[in-house]
Structure 1
Amino acid sequence: MKQTSGIERFEALLRSAPQGPPSHLEAWNPPYCGDIGLAIQSDGTWSYRGSPIRRMALVKLFARVLRREADGRYYLVTPAEKVDVAVEDAPFLAVEMETWGEGADQRIVFRTNVDDIVACGPEHPLRFVAQAPSGGLKPYLRVRGSLEALLTRALTLDLVERAIPDSEGRLVVWSNGACFRLEP
């Protein structure tokens, strides 16, 4: 009988599932099965035991069942098991941005490195974190649940160009009726 690795077992379980993030992912409470060596680097590269996962279809499959729990840790979750994923910064990168309108009427939509399409707004807010030691800002977009995408440097610059001053003179970006201050 052939022994399967943790990653092969997860791939088989996920391939049998429907496409898209399962609507009941947050309700699944499988037993914790430990750390099988999955990680996501800050550049968005997924790896297994130190080797990059080069099959984008597999990365997208895993991204569908990624969850961040109240303890702040990330897990891949199926109905049968839950394993650790070490995340260096954010699990996703926002790699493309489209904008419509201007000012308070503006709409901003992002595409992530795993092809999630996210309309920034009240349900998918932006947040900004001070970047040490430079003091610059790192913008994050909520993708789903408590999972976020870090905006690439190019998108950050594009976003700053779309900013306007609010009534207090602070720079803000509007999207879908929500106002986001460009400050931590």
Structure 2
Amino acid sequence: MTATQPATQPRRRAVTTFRDRPVTLVGPEIRVGDRAPDFTVVATDMSTVTFSSLGGAVRVISAVPSLDTPVCDAQTRRFNQVVAEHGEIPVLTVSVDLPTAQARWCGAAGLDHVRTLSDHRDLSFGLAYGVLIEELRLLARAVFVVDADDTVVHAEYVPTIEAQPDYDRVVRAAWNAG
């Protein structure tokens, strides 16, 4: 699915807000028990990465609007800290930031336990996981935990873009799935 094809996708309103205003999320709602949809994103080295190529392990997918904002920065740093404290569970942070901007941010932040991936090219992740904000062409704040069999064991669409996810629930889901 490309950015030119979102018209065929379902739309959900009032799932989340941005600056106290409801926004429209494009794509299906992913629920616990669903098979994790595949998607294609771009790594900081400009290589193409598919979710299916990262299988065989529990993974945390952290969707953020932009790493260059305080809440997204804090969320990504927190997941980096959690992984450092609890062991190596891959954390994928996905945004529509350009891969070069993500690389610059990671270098400046000094993070080494979180992998940033860009959905800027065709919004594959945003559309597959129902986190594309139609009005802004950004991703909504959400967190998904996927087990080694590619089953979603935790799905959280954060009710307001300015809020943090429930880190304790994410950690419990990830480590219980492992």
Same fold (TM over 0.5): no
Structure with the higher strand share, 1 or 2: 1
TM score, norm. by length of structure 1: 0.23
TM score, norm. by length of structure 2: 0.24
Q: Whose relative contact order is higher, 1 or 2, with alpha carbons under 8 Å and at least 6 apart?
A: 2
* Structure of higher CA gyration radius: 1
Structure with the higher helix share, 1 or 2: 2
